[in-house]
Amino acid sequence: MIQEPAHNRKPCGSAFPGAIDPNLTYRLRRIAPGKALPHKKSSSASNASHAAPSGISPFGRVNGRISLLAAAVAVVLATTLGCGKKEAEVAKPVAPVVQGATVAAVTEESFPDTIEAVGTVKARTAAVVSARIPGSVTAVLVKEGDRVGRGKLLVRIEAAEAGAAAAGAASGIEEAERGLEEAKARKKLAEATFQRFNKLYNDQAVTRQEFEERQTEREVTEQGVARAKARLDQARQSAKSAGAVAGYGQVTAPVSGLVVARQAEPGQTVFPGTPLLTIEGEDGYRLEVAAPESLLGKVKPGDKVDLTLEQGPAAARIAEVVPTVDPSTRTFLVKLDLAAKGLRSGSYGKALFRTGARPAIAVPARAVVERGALTSVWAVGKDGIARMRLIKVGRPLGDRVEVISGLTSGDRVVTAGAEKVTDGAKVE
């Protein structure tokens, strides 16, 4: 049986005639016993030189050819192995080098057990400015986002009834003043008459009845003066109230702060209690969270709590605990003072109440690489080669993140400069 290549591709190690190339496909042909191997046509001299000597049996010729074939196979194997070794040496890759990355060993540390509670950021003080008289809004002088000072004019309301009441109160004052003057004049006359009759009574020129009548008139006029004074005071008070009501048409800011809502527009008809504007004070913000019932009695004002806000991680202290459990949610209200800048009411916040501690693996948050749904770190081996290591993370704590699985104590990871690293790179 002999092998013949299926095509004329030149095999590796072709310097050896008849070498077998492992990359080629061969066809096997069966040679019947006693039949000569096929040869290419050659000259008669060549044929004569290859002719078998006389006296040699066919079996001898076959054994000789088998020995030649075994020698050829040995040469082919040596040639093939030599070619493969050279090709492997040429294809060896060179690892890229990364500089400027920080590598640190992972250690087990005490990680707090926490209970999360979500809530909303609110201003410590907020004022809803409402109408105090019925009327029509003629002007709104501020817009949302404006900062206003205490006493600044915000809204004008036209109130015809309030104006009429103020005018009527002014007229009432004038009338009461005239009544008082008349009462004083009557009292003066009655006093003079009484003094004259008193002298006549002492001289026995008038009767006792006449004297007592003049005395009664004097007392009545004195009471008239007192009533006139009371009516004047009442008129003045009414005028003051009417003037104040009329002044309610000029709506001013009760506190200094930021206008966060504008509920009224010019031309709108309003009534007492209708909201016009909402102003948040400038004395800071609070995070109000609904804490689970299990924490009741375990948290108190002054306790420090870690927070997660839209602006990033923060810390705060409990300002107030409302120990009333909502029966529908089984939670109670906790208020935390915030010192962070750039906060806005209505933004999301989360508080992490510590309930204990446990050993855990944690890495810096900047060491974690997120690509789509995959979370990983760059793990560096003893040879300095970085490989991507998939991990499962738990809760954050400040600038560190708990690693639930994927790392063990002693593993070395890239903690800074992770964006420079590629898989298989050598970190120096």
Secondary structure string (H, E, C) spanning the chain:
CEEEECCCCCCCCCCCCCCCCCCCCEEEECCCCCCCCCCCCCCHHHHHHHCCCCCCCHHHHHHHHHHHHHHHHHHHHHHHHHHHHHHHHHCCCCCCEECCCEEEECCEEEEEEEEEEEEEEEECCEEEEECCCCEEEEEECCCCCCEECCCCEEEEEECHHHHHHHHHHHHHHHHHHHHHHHHHHHHHHHHHHHHHHHHHHHCCCCCHHHHHHHHHHHHHHHHHHHHHHHHHHHHHHHHHHHHHHHHCCEEECCCCEEEEEECCCCCCEECCCCEEEEEEECCCEEEEEEEEHHHCCCCCCCCEEEEEECCEEEEEEEEEEEEEEECCCCEEEEEEEECCCCCCCCCEEEEEEEEEEEEEEEEEHHHCEEECCEEEEEEECCCCEEEEEECEEEEEECCEEEEEECCCCCCEEEEECHHHCCCCCEEC
Q: What are the distances in angstroms from CA 146 to CA 151, 203, 262, 265?
A: 14, 85, 11, 16
- Residue linked to tokens 């964006």: 419
DSSP β-ladder status, 331-338 and 312-326: antiparallel
Q: How far apart are CA 403 and CA 393, in angstroms?
A: 4
Alpha helices in 134-273 (DSSP H): 160-202, 208-247
CA angle 254, 257, 259 (to 5 degrees): 90
Identify the pLDDT of residue 204: 84
Sequence ranges of the chain with CATH classification 2.40.30.170: 116-123+281-354
Identify the pLDDT of residue 46: 42
Q: Are 167 and 313 in contact (CB under 8 A)?
A: no
> Token pair of 308, please?
């997660």
Sequence ranges of the chain with CATH classification 2.40.420.20: 102-112+359-427
CB atoms within 10 A of CB 106: 20
* Helix or strand (DSSP H, E) at 390: strand 386-390
Domain at 116-123+281-354, CATH homologous superfamily: Efflux pump adaptor protein, beta barrel domain (2.40.30.170)
CA angle 128, 131, 137 (to 5 degrees): 115
Q: Would you mind telling me the total number of residues written for the chain in this entry?
A: 428
Q: Helix (H, G, I), strand (E, B), or coil: what is residue 103?
A: strand
By C-alpha distance, which of 395, 400, 410, 406 is closest to 362?
400
Neighbouring C-alpha atoms within 13 Å toward the C-beta of 76? 15
Q: How far apart are CA 361 and CA 167, in angstroms?
A: 79
For 102-112+359-427, CATH number out of 2.40.420.20, 3.40.50.720, 3.20.20.70, 3.40.50.20 equals: 2.40.420.20
pLDDT tens over the chain, length 428 residues = 444 444 444 444 444 444 455 444 445 555 555 555 554 444 443 444 444 444 444 444 444 454 545 455 554 554 554 444 444 455 556 778 878 888 899 988 888 888 999 999 998 888 999 998 888 899 999 999 899 999 999 999 887 665 566 666 677 777 888 888 888 888 888 888 888 888 888 888 888 888 888 889 888 988 888 888 888 888 777 777 766 566 788 899 998 988 999 999 999 999 989 999 999 887 788 999 999 999 998 999 999 998 888 888 888 999 999 999 999 999 999 999 998 677 888 889 999 898 888 888 889 888 899 988 899 999 998 888 989 999 999 877 778 888 999 998 899 999 888 888 888 888 87
> Token pair of 112, please?
């707090």
> Token pair of 416, please?
């800074």
Rg (CA), the chain: 54
> Token pair of 22, please?
């492992």
Amino acid at the residue 411: D
Q: How far apart are CA 47 and CA 44, in angstroms?
A: 5
Q: How far apart are CA 64 and CA 59, in angstroms?
A: 9
